[in-house]
Amino acid sequence: MAEFLADNNPCGQNILRLVSRGNAIIAELLRLKDYIPPVFRLETKQDQQKYGVIIYDFSYFKTSDDFDNKIENDPQLQDLDEEFRENYTEILTRFYLAFESIHKYVTDLNRYLEDLEEGLFIQQTLESVLLAEEGKQLLCEALYLYGVMLLVVDLHIEGIIRERMLVSYYRYSAQQSNAESNIDDVCKLLRSTGFTASASKRVPNYPEDYFKRIPINSMYIDLVIGRLRSDDIYNQISAYPFPEHRSTALATQAAMLFLSLFFSPNILHTQTATLREIVVNIYMGVTVSLLEWWEPYKAAKTALSNTLDTANVREHSSKHAAKLQKLIPQTQQLSKEGALVEDNVLDHVNKVINIARECNVTLRWIMLHTGVPPAGWDTNKRCKQIRDQVVADSKYNPLQVFELLLNTAQFELKIKEMFKQLLSEKQSKWNMFKKEGVERMLELSEVFSGTKPLTRVVKNENLQTWFFEIAKQIDSLKQEETTAAGRKIVQLIQALEEVQEFHQLETNLQVCQFLSDTRKYLHQMIRTANVKEDVLITLHIVGDLSYAWETVDSYTTYMQEGIKKDPSLVIKLRATFLKLASAMEIPLLRINQAKSPDLVSVSQYYSGELVAYVRKVLHIIPETMFGLMARIVHLQTSVIKELPTRLDKERLKEFAQLDHRLEVAKLTHSVSVFTKGILMMKSTLVGIIRIDPKQLLEDGIRKELVKHIAIALHSGLIFNPKAKTSELIPKLEALEKIMDGHRRSFEYIQDYVNICGLKILQEEVSRIISYNVEQECNSFLRDKVQEWQSVHQSKTIPIPKFSPVDNTSVNFIGRLAREIIRITDPKTTVYVEHMTAWYDLKTHNEVINIKFFSKISKSVGTAGLAGLDRFFCFMIVTELQNFLNTLQKGVLKDKAWLDMVTDVSKGLSPNTTLINNPARFYVQYTSRAQKVWPQILEWTHKVGQLQVLRKNIAYELNTSCKFDSKHLAGTLQTMNDALLTEIQRHYKDPMKPYPKEENPLLYELSTYCDWAGISDPYSKIYITTNNLQFFSLLTFLFTISQVNKLIYIKNIGLVCKKPQDPIDGVPFIVGIQTILKQFHPEVRNQYLLYMGQFIKSHIAFSLNSSSSSKPTELPSEVVNTLHFIESFVHYAALPREAITKHIPDLILDQYRSLSAA
């Protein structure tokens, strides 16, 4: 065995590496099954409509040119296809590499067989490899693992999905990842088989047609099947000496044979056999029913019909049911304190191993034949009948099976730990017992020498010599020579018994005691010598629970019910989880032997899966705790009255509410008991992941909290857009109550469960909102953040994802933001700056005010406000991009438009001159663009509205930050000012320092500042722009076309003249200011120059044409425009000089005095 796998034996090393790779490939396939992008399923109507035209199955290869031309001829499809490529190439590449590795695996297996046949490995042939024990195992495993790969792929990644992924990969990443394996061969191997796990009808000739897509040496297949049928290739029979346990002993081999037979289906058609089990564990808990899978094969079906005779099924069911009833009390007895003590176990080791063997065989048969039915079982009538018969005849009681599983795992763990300790102490104990025996014999020798005084002991030289010799004999015993030492010890015990009898030494109690002690130590030496590793190996073999890797999930409910009744059950469950962890050794054995780098990733995957199951089982504890906490909070907030500062003694009983307070105390105690239950489970190494019970409890509490908060946010923020009055404020108030309830419960309970409750609450609420903001913002991004890429999403504490409830928003953040935008729409409301409130345009009733943002803060927290702010940023960027793209690709490319703008530019040039008859001059050009202005107004309004909302959010964030954490607010403000000063110095003198690109200071500080509201949305640059010709002129024409629709009202500002022609002053001004801010300051200066020319021309024309004696009155166009300019300068934070350059001080002073009047 050692020779075949020696480092210098390429024949053994090659097949070992191949089998190791096979196990790693299966782990990767199982890992990837959870990361199939939902878009490739095309399940929703939305996905079908959007992506159905760019995601194809293998029908693409027949008319690929037509498909590609269709995309190339449609710019929208081209853009969608490019976006899809950017988002999914990475995950598609990973799936393709996994698919390709299957093809490479079978190619390498065929090459290895060819090399063996051609004699490339000196003195090695296929037959000689099969004679070596490890060689035989590895050759059988190589074929079996290939079969497992094909079935796992078909079971977890449906054929049509594979085809779509392969075609997408082919279109986006045509280059081959491996020179020896091309995409055509991979596609041929993994094209759809027609099999689906939910299908009611079996696919004809499945899976044999699938298995022969790549031919494998038929002689090799026949030899492997022959070995699996006739040999005990893993030497399991030695651990299962009883004939009735043979099916369990050879269960692993049976699974390998089951799959290998599909490579040679003629055997299934022609050769019969008898069977004891009809449910087979294929690989890591994947079970199949032979009755369903062997239905098409004549010989195999005949063999099954003998096994499935009603009497035979009843006999097996009754036998295992009887064993179950017998074993439960036996295992209960063994689990009692004092039953599995060292002496008892060492004296009855075979009996204990037999009980363990019986328990595991019984558990295996019952769990496989009564557990969750394998795929396709329910659709096969005969399968259902057999299972129902087994359940009835065995009087199946899942609680009893679960009890036996718990007891078995518990006593197996105790025995293993005991034997491990005994093995580690074996040498030291042997030496100690030997030393004690020798010392007593030497003392007796001295006693009979007469030199050591002992009451009434006569000197006896013969006994002196004899005891001295016995001491030498005991001292000469060696632990390594177990058999010889054992015989010698038995003879020494007999000799000591005889010397006591024949020399009448029993009359002296002290001598008798010495002899008795020595015999006892010699007995202990025999026991110590009998402690061998064989016991652990046998226990490991018989205790295998890999068949239940998936079936055990059906017992989760019983585990959780048991924990609810008695939280200390967690201790017993720990043993069950450790027993289940032993299943991981099957896939890891060969990877470890091959010293493969895949060991860590494969261990990580299986350990992670098991830890996830442990978390799932133990999640009942935080789940129950939350139910208790909800009741506590209800009692504290709604039932128990708050004590006043002064209380009359007559009313003391009224406020005492002793029954309710007792209930709170009982509920609190229950919470503490549950906490204690999980903490009783020691820190446990599951695979390569260590489970810390305190961390497990905290993660469980976080998971349950996330679920409750996510559901509250999702269901609490659904709005009816057709509602006459907005539901927003009532829903925010209801949500505020829920969030306050969670805060109170965590504040109250944190000391009783020893966790930082409020910290956990804040962290998880922040994570939920950040994740939802990220997913909502994906609709604005080309390169989207997929769920598995999100830094906020976690596999341990997942944030639930809900289906969208409308066509525009992905989740509650989008719905909340769009509802706020809807109720503050500039078409229906007016924003009054100094009131910081929105009023209805028709009724003049207040819609919302500054306190509204405080309500948002109380309901969704600081994270919610910061999330809304970020979302509004994305919306502003999108609106600005749409606006500028339309201008660039439409308006400024249109010849008529360009001619008109050129004429205006010439007419206004130079900008310092005055225009004669300005009303007529300007109107002739603004009226020619009447069709374009409404769309530009829409964009301007939207940008301005979002900016105003952002400004109010920043104010609320900053106020609450100063109130809740004034030191943080002050520190951030100082840090921000200092950093800006340093950056300004750098631009004045480039020799001064500036943060490097890799320095996270600027990014991290800006994030803190955004959350603390230390930002000015009005001065933010959202997009990078190129210099657009005539942009300042176009903005100027648009402004003067709209200003006349406004009227200035003192204490309110600019509002629309007519409700049927709605335009809101503040969003309009802020919108224009924001748009101009995205360009070079020179564009804004040019815009102000045009505005100055417009005002001066109108004033000059008015003075020249007016015969009025009131030259103090300014024309209405000028008044409105001056109001606009003054507000513009205010929102843009420009100095007075910015406008006095273009408008004389005299005009501004005159305007101000008239406004004040």
Name the packing angle between helices 183-190 and 159-172 (round to 10°).
170
740: Cα within 13 Å, side-chain hemisphere: 14
Residues 6+ apart with CB under 8 A from 64: none
The pLDDT, as a whole number, for residue 504 is 62
Share of the chain above pLDDT 90, in %: 27
Q: What is the pLDDT of residues 315-334, one digit of tens each?
A: 888 998 999 999 999 888 88
DSSP bridge pairs for 1054: 1048
d(CA 865, CA 1010): 10
Tell me the per-residue pLDDT of 894-914, one tens digit each, with 9 for 90 and over. 777 788 888 888 888 887 788
Write out pLDDT tens, residues 215-228.
Answer: 999 999 999 998 88
Asked if the model's pLDDT at residue 731 lies above 90, the reply is: yes
DSSP 176: -
Give the residue among 1053, 1039, 1050, 1135 at the shortest CA–CA distance from 1095.
1039
Reply yes or no: is the peptide bond before residue 1067 cis, omega within 30 of 0: no
Q: What is the DSSP string of 177-197?
A: SBTTB-HHHHHHHHS--S--T
pLDDT of residue 771: 94
Closest CA to 263 of 223, 303, 203: 223
Return the closest-CA partner of residue 926 out of 904, 895, 909.
904
Closest C-alpha among 158, 44, 165, 164 to residue 95: 165
d(CA 860, CA 770): 11
Asked if residue 1042 lies in contact with residue 936, where contact means CB atoms within 8 angstroms, the answer is: no
Residue 837 three-state SS: strand
The β-bridge partners of 840 are 829
Q: According to the model, what pLDDT value does residue 688 have?
A: 81
**703: nearest Cα among 786, 612, 596, 779:** 612
Closest CA to 915 of 1072, 1101, 734: 1101
Q: Judge whether residue 718 has pLDDT over 80.
A: yes
832, 839 in Cβ contact below 8 A?
A: yes
Task: For the chain, give the mean pLDDT.
Answer: 85
Query: How confident is the model at residue 174, as a pLDDT?
Result: 62
Are β-strands 286-289 and 279-283 bridged in parallel, bridged antiparallel, or unpaired? Answer: antiparallel
Q: What pLDDT was estimated at residue 506?
A: 65
- Asked if 15 contacts 139 with a C-beta cutoff of 8 angstroms, the reply is yes
Edge-to-edge strands of the sheet including 837-840?
Answer: 829-832, 837-840, 846-849
How many C-beta atoms surround the C-beta of residue 436 within 10 A?
18
Helix (DSSP H) and strand (DSSP E) numbers for the chain = 47, 9
**pLDDT at residue 798 above 50?**
yes
H or E segment to which residue 908 belongs: helix 895-908
Q: Round to the nearest angstrom and report the end-to-end CA distance of the chain.
A: 107
- Whether residue 714 is predicted with pLDDT greater than 90 in this model: the reply is yes
Q: What is the mean pLDDT of residues 1077-1096?
A: 90
Alpha carbon separation from 905 to 107, 128, 876, 911 (Å, rounded): 74, 95, 30, 9
Residue 145 predicted with pLDDT over 90: yes
Q: Which residue intervals of 7-132 are DSSP H helices?
A: 10-32, 45-51, 64-72, 75-117, 126-131
Q: Taking residues 1003-1024, what's their average pLDDT? A: 91
Q: Give the total residue count for the chain.
A: 1157
The pLDDT of residue 989 is above 50? yes
Per residue in 629-644, pLDDT (tens digit) is: 888 888 888 888 888 8
Q: How confident is the model at residue 1 (pLDDT cuts 50, 70, 90)?
A: very low
Q: What's the rounded Cα separation, in Å, for the pair 651 and 58?
A: 82
Assess contact for 961 and 1013: CB atoms under 8 A: yes
Q: Measured between alpha carbons, how far is 236 from 254 in angstroms, rounded to an integer?
A: 12
For every residue of 1009-1077, DSSP letters joined together read: HHHTT---GGG---S--PPPTTHHHHHHHHHHHHHTTEEEETTTEEEES-TTS---HHHHHHHHHHHHH
Q: Is it the case that residue 178 has pLDDT exceeding 80?
A: no
Please state the pTM of the whole predicted model. Answer: 0.82
Question: With 70 as the cut, is the pLDDT of residue 156 above it?
Answer: yes
- Residue 1045 has phi, psi (to 5 degrees) of -80, -5
Structural tokens at position 1032 = 């300042």
pLDDT above 60: residue 1108: no
Whose CA is closest to 558, among 367, 830, 815, 283? 367
Measured over the CA atoms of residue 800, residue 804, residue 808 and residue 813, the dihedral's sign is negative
Checking if the pLDDT of 841 tops 50, the result is yes
Q: Is the pLDDT of residue 942 over 90?
A: yes
Contacts (Cβ under 8 Å, ≥6 apart) of 787: 775, 793, 801
pLDDT of residue 1009: 92
Closest CA to 1016 of 1070, 1088, 960, 1079: 1070
Q: Rounded CA gap, 1026 and 816, in Å?
A: 34
Query: What is the chain's Cα-based Rg?
Result: 42
Report the pLDDT value the prediction gives residue 1109, as an integer from 0 to 100. 45
The HSE-up count of residue 607 (CA atoms within 13 Å, CB side) is 15
Q: How far is CA 476 from CA 438, 464, 485, 488, 672, in A?
A: 10, 19, 9, 10, 59
One-letter amino acid for residue 753 of the chain? V
**Any idea of the CA torsion for 1065, 1069, 1074, 1080, to the nearest 10 degrees?**
170
Cβ-contact 406, 572 below 8 angstroms: yes
Token pair in block for residue 771? 């994740």
Residue 1106 has pLDDT above 90, yes or no: no
What separation in angstroms does the CA of 286 have from each of 105, 155, 557, 751, 905?
21, 10, 21, 44, 78
The rounded distance, in Å, linking the Cα atoms of 621 and 389 is 36
